[in-house]
Chain A
Amino acid sequence: MGERDPTLMAGVPELVVLRLLAEREMYGYEIARTLKVLSRETLSLGEGVLYPALHAMEARGLLRPRPRQVEGRTRIYYQLTARGHRRLERLTANWQRMSAGVARILGTSDHE
């Protein structure tokens, strides 16, 4: 696994979590696992980042929690709200614009 620079990670947890939950509702552990697998271990959200972020997104009305009983335990599944969908669209557009800009700069540097 490569080295992770925290300064590059600002805003990433929110974007990737919203993106995953746009597909289907998931619970915390499932989100952490799916992120790790889909990003081929480039992204890994620890419990200390993931759960406060989920709760904060819920408090801002981006997610809706839904408790469910699974094998005798209560699991909290998270669903994206309409506001969450709008936020995801905005964040995705910002991310694409920024990453395209950074890619252009990196590409220019390679040629010089």
Chain B
Amino acid sequence: MSELRFAQLSRALRRQGVAARHARRAALEMSGHYHQLRLQALARGEPPDQAARAAHEAMGADAVLIERYAGRRELRGWLYRWPAVYAVAPLASFAVLCVSIMALLVLVLNGLQLLVHHLAVPAAVAMAVNSVFVVALQWVLPVLVGAGFALLASRRPVALRWLIASVLLVCLTARLMNSGLMLPIPGQRGSATLGIGIRFRTLALQLTGTLITAALALAPYFIVRHRSGWRRSLPS
């Protein structure tokens, strides 16, 4: 029972935004403290089960401890001390992923051209590859990045406004991007392009796309929150 109590304490502290190292150490120290109190009760001549109960009671309610830890800013994880990071981190991750994918593709294609001197694919294949690439980079990737950060946030008390702002930012960036991957076709060299810009003519369309991808990215978050709320409401 005692180990379970301290494992639960560690999890509860982390859920309240306490940094992982402090949560782990608090559980370890509280477990040691409990052990000492139990030994003290045993030395007084109390039977083992009564000694364990007395030690648990002497330590008081975990809720008080959790509140005290969570109330100290210096003990909170960096994400909780600077929640605005949540608005920037997904965008930074998305940008790093895009640039990395492009760099990798350029490297692979250049390598292939060195090996196969006259590498060329039919135009239809090149167009199909380009379409798949654009969908993957500008639709699938932002949804995955947004959903990943949203799921991470669902396990922490991150304010919903930061989460929504961050997902919208990623999806908007993806919609404003221009990307392309044209494999070499007969008589034409291949190319990879990545840029960003606003086209006012299609702005409404881009904003609609932003909202659709953001909704897709946020859907798993709301499903998880809904399910955990539903589980909590079940009678124990």
Q: Which residues of A contact B (CB under 8 A)?
A: 27-29, 32, 46-49, 51-52, 55-56, 59-60, 65, 73-76
Main secondary structure of the interface of A (DSSP, over half): helix
Residue numbers in A under 8 Å from B35 (CB-CB): 73
Residue numbers in B under 8 Å from A65 (CB-CB): 25
Q: Which residues of B contact A (CB under 8 A)?
A: 22, 25-26, 28-30, 32-33, 35-37, 59-60, 64-65, 68-69, 71-72, 74-75
Q: Which of A29, A52, A59, A74 contacts B33 (CB 8 A)?
A: A29
Contact assessment for A76 and B75 in the assembled complex, using a CB-CB cutoff below 8 Å: no
Main secondary structure of the interface of B (DSSP, over half): helix
Q: In the bound complex, how far is the Cα of B30 from the Cα of A55, in angstroms?
A: 13
Contact assessment for B28 and A47 in the assembled complex, using a CB-CB cutoff below 8 Å: no
Residue numbers in A under 8 Å from B32 (CB-CB): 27-29, 73-76
| Contact A74/B75 with A29-B36, A47-B65, A48-B64 known, Cβ cut-off 8 Å | no
Residue with the highest number of chain A CB atoms closer than 10 Å, among B32, B69, B71, B72: B32
Residue numbers in A under 8 Å from B72 (CB-CB): 52, 55-56, 59
Residue numbers in A under 8 Å from B26 (CB-CB): 51-52, 55
Q: In the bound complex, how far is the Cα of B36 from the Cα of A47, in angstroms?
A: 13
Q: In the bound complex, how far is the Cα of B29 from the Cα of A47, in angstroms?
A: 10
Residue numbers in B under 8 Å from A75 (CB-CB): 32
Residue numbers in B under 8 Å from A47 (CB-CB): 30, 33, 59-60, 65
Cβ distance A15 to chain B, nearest Cβ, rounded Å: 17
Q: In the bound complex, how far is the Cα of B29 from the Cα of A59, in angstroms?
A: 16
> Which residue from chain A places its CB closest to the CB of B61 in the assembled complex?
A48
| Contact A49/B74 with A29-B36, A75-B32, A76-B28 known, Cβ cut-off 8 Å | no
Contact assessment for A51 and B74 in the assembled complex, using a CB-CB cutoff below 8 Å: no
Q: What would 5 A/B residue contacts be, using CB atoms closer than 8 Å?
A: A52-B26, A52-B65, A52-B69, A59-B22, A74-B28
